[in-house]
Amino acid sequence: MKNMCEGNPLTKIFTFDLKGSTVDRDVIKSDNLKILKTGNEADKSKIIEKFSKEVLKDKDFTNLDLKFKLSKKDADCLRKMIRSDSELLRLSCVTDYSLFVTIHKYSAEDLENKSYRVMASSDKKYIFSISIIDYLGVIST
């Protein structure tokens, strides 16, 4: 996972390991989630700082109500990458994998060194990096 983290670690907000499942797929428990949704800004900042060092899961992504606000160009690029990667995984008989997503505060410097899988949010608040990790294939006989 560390090899997949692009961007300045000081600007990282969240890291996610997304599998498309909800069973045991949360790190942020309800008391901290309530603070994130209804607490004051100082308390929210403490929670975000605490969980910025954790690898969060599917339910955390959903509960935090995060959205990818991408430009049309980047959204089209992301769809193309997903189609291409999905086809490669299908042809390789990969049956299980995770999406590794990091979210950073926007930094023009981080974007200068970006790879094809790093995109800026359309409102220039965040940078998203998306990779496939932890894949499992079927061995055919």
* pLDDT (0 to 100) of residue 57: 92
Return d(Cα 32, Cα 39) in angstroms, integer. Answer: 9
Angle 98-104-108 (CA atoms, 0-180°, nearest 5)?
Answer: 130
How many domains are there within the chain? 1
Q: Which helix (H) or strand (E) holds 71?
A: none
Residue 3 DSSP class = G
**DSSP annotation of 9:** G
Structure tokens at 111: 């974007």
Structure pTM? 0.76
How confident is the model over 48-71, as a mean pLDDT?
Answer: 85
For residue 137 the two structure tokens come to: 């294939």
Which domain, by its residues, includes 83?
2-137
Nearest Cα neighbor of 119 from 86, 79, 64, 62 is 79
Q: What is the CATH number of the domain that holds 79?
A: 3.30.810.10
Q: Over the chain, what is the mean pLDDT?
A: 80
Tell me the per-residue pLDDT of 31-59, one tens digit each, with 9 for 90 and over. 888 888 888 888 888 888 888 888 899 99
